Structure 1
Amino acid sequence: MVPSVHASGVTVFETLKAHCGKAFSGKIVRDTEQSETWSAAHLVLHVRDCSDTELRMPLHLSDNRSRILVLTKLNSGKMRFKHDHRHEDGSSDPVTMYGGDSLELNAPAQTFPVDEESVALFLANGLEASVQNVWHLQVGEGVLRYRLTRPSGRDFMMEFDLSTPVDVPPPAWDRKAGHN
């Protein structure tokens, strides 16, 4: 379960949209698998593209610019959270646009269980462990928390300090010619 925050009434979407164009440094605060790829990386989240219904936020792991987090408002008042993965040439990774829809209406903490489309994608690519993924986004006290959990005990969480912008990183790999 995502740690509680004060009920400010400010939503994840509104908070991140208010930071459009800015980038923020992050850190791993929990990783039950202790992944070297993640623990050694310099993390930067760039709140890059913002509309009234969608945010596109590249997540940089040092020089790896393959990940773009996509948060979309749905007509129901809930949110959709997807992971757009790209190769360095800008083409889509075979495992891309996975995620799910929120359980809660627009709130400071959102839970996104894996959707059926993503389950099929994971199974087709030999990623059976991912078929029970649950992602969590939470804002509060100047921090964005991104968390991935699984019933198996997998627990991974990053925190991004929204109070101190950093230099905007180089363009993510989705910005390569012909692949927008």
Structure 2
Amino acid sequence: MKKILLVCTLLCTILIYGQEKSGAKQFWENLQKQCGKSFEGEVTEGAANDTFRDKKLVMHVRNCDKKTIRIPFFVGDDKSRTWVLTYKKDRIQLKHDHRHEDGSEDKVTQYGGKTTNSGSSTLQFFPADQETRELIPNAAANVWWITLDETSFTYNLRRIGSDRLFTVKFDLTKTVATPSAPWGWKD
């Protein structure tokens, strides 16, 4: 009798409150917990001559609302990059917003991709979309992914069919001073 009651209670809870949150929703909510914080990172995978390796790398989860999270990514004094994540219909889209110092858009900007499924609470994959294929033909085989847990955030890029791999890992256990606005933004 107790088992039947437990099953009925569980079924009623699911009907009333809906099923467990999807991987995309959990990932989104966990990333939003970092809003307003800045973290230092390091390149853990990438070419030996990668220009990022000798520079201070900082991500700032600067702007969060219900459906958009903007994360400027600073490479030394270069404030041209912002990762823009958008949540819609249980999918997450990643776009790369590149700006010049005067705030104008770079000619190579707004490339990225959208998840093809809900992913997991700790991992989201973004295969290159059509806009990316048209803007940067060589990037048609790009896949980006982000991992997220209590201690780290990683941004990753792999060009399928090549040796190209880039990973930068940020330590979420230590915040750093919040940088000034990225290019094209106002404080």
TM-score tier by shorter-chain length is 0.7 to 0.9
Tell me how large the CA RMSD over aligned residues is: 1.9
Q: Name the structure 1 match of 2:42.
A: 27
Q: Deviations over 1:115-156 (max 9, x none)?
A: 001110113xxxxx3221100101124100111001212111
1:135 to 140, 144, 156: 144
C-alpha distance 18-141 of structure 1, shift in aligned 2 (>3 A): closer
Q: Name the structure 2 match of 1:59.
A: 73
Q: How far apart are the structure 2 equivalents of 1:12 and 1:41? A: 29
Q: How far apart are the structure 2 equivalents of 1:15 and 1:69? A: 16
Q: Name the structure 2 match of 1:5.
A: none
Matched pairs, number: 163
Residue pairs, 1:45-124, within 5 angstroms: 45-75=59-89, 77-107=90-120, 108-123=122-137
- If each structure's helix is expressed as a fraction of its own residues, which one has the higher value? 2
Q: How far apart are the structure 1 equivalents of 2:24 and 2:64? A: 20
Pairing 1:163–2:178 present: no
Q: Name the structure 2 match of 1:174.
A: 184
Q: Name the structure 2 match of 1:3.
A: none
Larger Rg: 2
Q: Which runs of 4+ in 1 moved over 4 A?
A: none
Q: Which amino acid aligns with 2:35?
A: C
Pick 1 or 2: higher relative contact order, CA cutoff 8 A, min separation 6.
Answer: 1
Q: How far apart are the structure 2 equivalents of 1:79 and 1:175? A: 23
Q: What TM-score do you get using the length of structure 1 for normalisation?
A: 0.85
Long gaps (5+) in structure 1: 1-7, 124-128
Long gaps (5+) in structure 2: 1-22
Matched residue of 2:86: which SS?
Answer: strand
Aligned identity (percent) is: 37
Q: Which amino acid aligns with 1:88?
A: E
Q: Which amino acid aligns with 2:133?
A: V
